[in-house]
Amino acid sequence: MSGLGGLNPSEHGVVIGLVQLQLPVTETPADLARQTARVVELVGKARRNNAKMDLVVFPEYMLHGLSMDVNPEIMCDLDGPEVAAFKAACAEHRIWGCFSIMERNPGGYPWNSGLVIDDEGEIRLYYRKMHPWTPVEPWEPGDTGIPVIDGPRGCKLALIICHDGMFPEMARECAYKGAEIMIRTAGYTAPIRDAWRFTNQANAFQNLMVTANVCMSGSDGTFDSMGEGMICNFDGTVMAHGTSGRPDEIITAEVRPDLVREARAGWGVENNIYQLFHRGFTAVKGGAQDCPYTFMQDMVAGTARLPWEDQVKVTDGTSCGFPAPTRRFGEKRKQEAAE
């Protein structure tokens, strides 16, 4: 049930709209301003499209396209005109919005950042992509963790970006911190279509969590993005799916965070997010609450290493035209702390 795409929402429902935005070409500040205006127009379209819509979600790369251009002239700032325009649009149309920016980073490559702005025009969620799509993407790896907020109609809301969703640990972290709805924005192109679909469903089912996922759409003359807006229910079923790939189409559905909470409390079989931490509770009181996973222990210790580590051939971005990095993660912050 999706309330006919959110046209007939229930008392406890949250209506989500996923914008399969036309893939832009952004090379100059004028292009950036033009694309910002287009996104603002589509916030208005979302409100006109469905008067009951609570949250409109735009894909990753909504302003910058897929060029991977790190030209500082087309980077954004949290206090810049682009974000100000999105705040004003959300306040004007009384709707929550999820947006993507390539954010200026004085200490290195830009961050790939996501924002959720509420219906009064305030930033409620700020996230930096944790897992850039290496070796293609040059973005600085995120260093702010995964925030979970109180979203529209009191839902618990999280945001991850594109390649993040290929790591089951990312969705698990969202759920562990209480998320009932996880947004995944992306710029993926057609070769990733199958992986996109089954990971969106798996992320939902493994965590008893709604996932709302959307890519860019259409062509920029070089790349062809696929749209593929998907809203998956907490049992993994697909509630809405933009299979046409039509640019600027808005895929909508009503989701029910109250039923997520009911399932997490009431499910026995396949309550996997609980059972991960209570292994075999039928046999032993409270279940085993150890950490039997070597990779987790080694990652915390800073010693994680794959058995085939020495055979991995692509370990930097030189194959995609980026120089091999020399700075280690966290060095800039350590230097700032020392000063």
* Domain definitions of the chain by residue range: 3-269
Smallest Cα–Cα separation from 101: which of 119, 117, 90?
A: 117
CB atoms within 10 A of CB 191: 10
Could you please report the per-residue DSSP string of 76-127? B-TTSHHHHHHHHHHHHHT-EEEEEEEE--TTSSPEEEEEEE-TTS-EEEEE
* 10 neighbors 254 (Cβ within 8 angstroms): yes
Please classify residue 189 by burial: count the beta carbons closer than 10 Å to its beta carbon, then call 0-12 exposed, 13-18 middle and 19+ buried.
middle
pLDDT at 9 (0 to 100)? 83
Catalytic residues: 60, 129, 162
Half-sphere exposure at residue 339, Cβ-oriented, CA atoms within 13 angstroms: 6
Average pLDDT over residues 165-179: 98
Strands 55-57 and 249-255: unpaired
Structure tokens at 42: 């589509």
Average pLDDT, the chain: 95
Q: Which amino acid is at 254?
A: E
pLDDT at 281 (0 to 100)? 98
pTM of the model: 0.95
Query: Does the pLDDT at position 334 exceed 60?
Result: no
Query: Does the pLDDT at position 338 exceed 90?
Result: no
Query: Does the pLDDT at position 331 exceed 80?
Result: no
pLDDT at 244 (0 to 100)? 84
Q: What is the C-alpha to C-alpha distance for residues 48 and 230, in angstroms, rounded to an integer?
A: 21
> For domain 3-269, is the CATH number 3.40.50.2300?
no
* 190 neighbors 167 (Cβ within 8 angstroms): no
Position 18 confidence tier, pLDDT thresholds 50, 70, 90 = very high
Please classify residue 204 by burial: count the beta carbons closer than 10 Å to its beta carbon, then call 0-12 exposed, 13-18 middle and 19+ buried.
buried
Q: What proportions of the chain, in percent to the nearest 5, are helix, strand and coil?
A: 35, 25, 45
pLDDT digit string (tens) for 175-208? 999 999 999 999 999 999 999 999 999 999 999 9
pLDDT digit string (tens) for 108-164? 999 999 999 999 999 999 999 999 999 999 999 999 999 999 999 999 999 999 999
How far from 176 is each of 98, 121, 170, CA to CA, in Å? Answer: 22, 28, 10
pLDDT at 332 (0 to 100)? 63
Smallest Cα–Cα separation from 116: which of 196, 174, 56, 68?
A: 56
Weakest-pLDDT range from 53-57, 68-72, 132-136, 240-244: 240-244
Q: What is the C-alpha to C-alpha distance for residues 170 and 203, in angstroms, rounded to an integer?
A: 9
Q: What is the C-alpha to C-alpha distance for residues 40 and 93, in angstroms, rounded to an integer?
A: 10
Residues 6+ apart with CB under 8 A from 10: 3, 254, 256
Query: Does the pLDDT at position 77 exceed 80?
Result: yes
CB atoms within 10 A of CB 148: 21
Question: pLDDT above 70 covers what percent of the chain?
Answer: 97
Query: Does the pLDDT at position 336 exceed 60?
Result: no
Average pLDDT over residues 237-250: 93
Residue bearing tokens 């279509």? 193
